[in-house]
Amino acid sequence: MNQPSSPASSADPPAGSGIISAHHGVAVEVRFDNGARCLVRVKRRSGHVVGDAVRVVGEVLERLPRRTELRRRDALGGIHLVAANLDVLGIVVSPAPQPPAGFVDQAIVAARAADLAPFLVINKCDLALADPYVAALRAAYAGSVPVFPLSAASGAGLEALRAFFACGHRGAFVGTTGVGKSSLLNALCPEIDLQVGELNEYSGKGRNTTTLSTLHTLHDGGELIDTPGFQDFGLVEISAPELALHYPGFEQIPPGSCRFRNCRHRSEPGCAVRDLASTGQFPADRYATYLEILDAVEVVEAQNRYRGKKG
Ligand SMILES: Nc1nc2c(ncn2[C@@H]2O[C@H](COP(=O)(O)OP(=O)(O)OP(=O)(O)O)[C@@H](O)[C@H]2O)c(=O)[nH]1
Ligand SMILES: [Zn+2]
């Protein structure tokens, strides 16, 4: 379906407001507030993404202002908009394979910088080595974000995550390869194939379309965006001020504790974070991880400044 020469939709698109629930490259599916769906043709680089709130008038799509934007960085450093109007981002990890050091922290910072509330999913809790891993992650993050230990394979722990989404959240998952994101999506929405089937029934065309991105409604409530290839995305680079502002654990330190408002919590005089870490009131290992990420972020910032000067 959706060859460039095909009609924008197989029926007259109804007029009204709704949300883009799937993106097929040359057409988007709009889900109207009353539940009806239609396909509307768009230009290849129209800038529309799943999650966009739109008004449809005839074949014209008017995009309404976005509350949030989720971006990713590709292998060449290009930045792409992935989805709009999400409110939560699930960071998926597993005891095997484990994500690289600092991954969870950077994902939390990137989510918060994009105004998304991060939560942590620890998959594969059926594995024997899961318990100490879950305990370590809880100790580091439970004070900062919701933590969901579960097993996509056995289904244990899925109910708590379903209940979280059922509060009305719209989110996506990120995580490194092999942690079980696809398994988790399938466990949460077994009807994924069914939705694809419904859409194609509507369009009356075959199943051989590349769907770039889909918004799935979960059975108990809430929505999940599935964007092939996105889940392993390179997080958009975080800046040093974003890191200092959003690093998990720092939210427990009252704002204004450091002498300088833009304190990077490294060597500034009157830095409350460094003082708390040195006296054990802030976990020393968490502070050490922060400094390692800050080092890496500052190297990238220096490289970008150098490139900017050269350019
Ligand atoms: N033991 C166990 N294995 C799981 C679980 N969930 C997924 N796996 C296995 O982990 C492997 C990776 O699962 P995927 O769902 O493909 O992981 P992914 O994160 O989508 O991987 P990519 O597509 O590479 O990004 C597969 O062999 C799954 O069978 C789980 O809850 N427990
Ligand atoms: Zn400080």
> What pLDDT score was predicted for residue 43?
87
CA distances from 62 to 12, 82, 86, 234, 271 (A): 17, 19, 19, 30, 48
Which superfamily is assigned to 240-310 in CATH? Answer: Probable gtpase engc; domain 3 (1.10.40.50)
> What pLDDT score was predicted for residue 231?
55
Residues 180, 125, 170, 244, Cα dihedral to 10°: -100
**Averaged pLDDT in 10-residue chunks for the chain of 311 residues:** 37 76 92 91 89 90 94 81 94 95 93 96 97 98 98 97 97 90 90 48 42 88 83 73 96 93 95 96 95 94 82 56
Q: Is the dihedral of CA 151, 157, 159, 161 positive or negative?
A: negative
The annotation status of 258 as a binding-site residue, yes or no, is yes
> What pLDDT score was predicted for residue 12?
55
CA distances from 66 to 141, 159, 268 (A): 29, 30, 37
> What pLDDT score was predicted for residue 75?
76
Ligand 2 centre to CA of 268 (Å) is 7
Whether 172 contacts 91, CB under 8 Å: no
Q: Hey, what are 115's tokens? A: 């105004």
Q: Which residues, 6+ apart, have CB-to-CB distance to 67 below 8 Å?
A: 84, 85, 87, 115
> What pLDDT score was predicted for residue 176?
87
Instruction: Supply the DSSP symbol for 11.
Output: S
Q: Is 203 left (phi over 0), alpha (psi -120 to 50) or beta?
A: alpha
* Rounded Cα gap, residues 223 and 160, in angstroms: 15
For β-strands 223-226 and 170-174, DSSP reports them as parallel
Q: Which residue has a Cα nearest atom 12 of ligand 1?
A: 178
> What pLDDT score was predicted for residue 57?
86
* Rounded Cα gap, residues 238 and 195, in angstroms: 35
Burial class (CB in 10 A: 0-12, 13-18, 19+), 172: buried
Closest ligand relative to 123 C-alpha: 1
Residue 92 CA: which ligand 1 atom is closest?
19
> What pLDDT score was predicted for residue 79?
84
> What pLDDT score was predicted for residue 232?
55
CA max distance for the chain: 69
> What pLDDT score was predicted for residue 5?
34
> What pLDDT score was predicted for residue 9?
44
Which of 177, 183, 231 for a ligand 1 pocket mutation test, highest count of atoms within 8 Å of Cβ? 183
| ipTM reported for the complex, 2 dp | 0.98
Whether 15 contacts 58, CB under 8 Å: yes
> What pLDDT score was predicted for residue 169?
98
Ligand 2 centre to CA of 97 (Å) is 34
- Ligand 1 pocket, residues with Cβ under 6 angstroms: 123-124, 126-127, 151-153, 175, 177-183, 231-232
* Rounded Cα gap, residues 130 and 148, in angstroms: 13
- Domain at 69-196+207-235: CATH architecture: 3-Layer(aba) Sandwich (3.40)
Closest ligand relative to 268 C-alpha: 2
Ligand 2 centre to CA of 175 (Å) is 30
* Domain assignments of the chain as residue spans, ordered by start: 69-196+207-235, 240-310
Closest ligand relative to 187 C-alpha: 1
The annotation status of 178 as a binding-site residue, yes or no, is yes
Residue 175 CA: which ligand 1 atom is closest?
19
The annotation status of 189 as a binding-site residue, yes or no, is no
> What pLDDT score was predicted for residue 311?
56
The annotation status of 175 as a binding-site residue, yes or no, is yes
As a whole number of Å, the CA-based R_g of the chain is: 22
Whether 259 contacts 270, CB under 8 Å: yes
Bridge partners (DSSP) listed for residue 83: 70
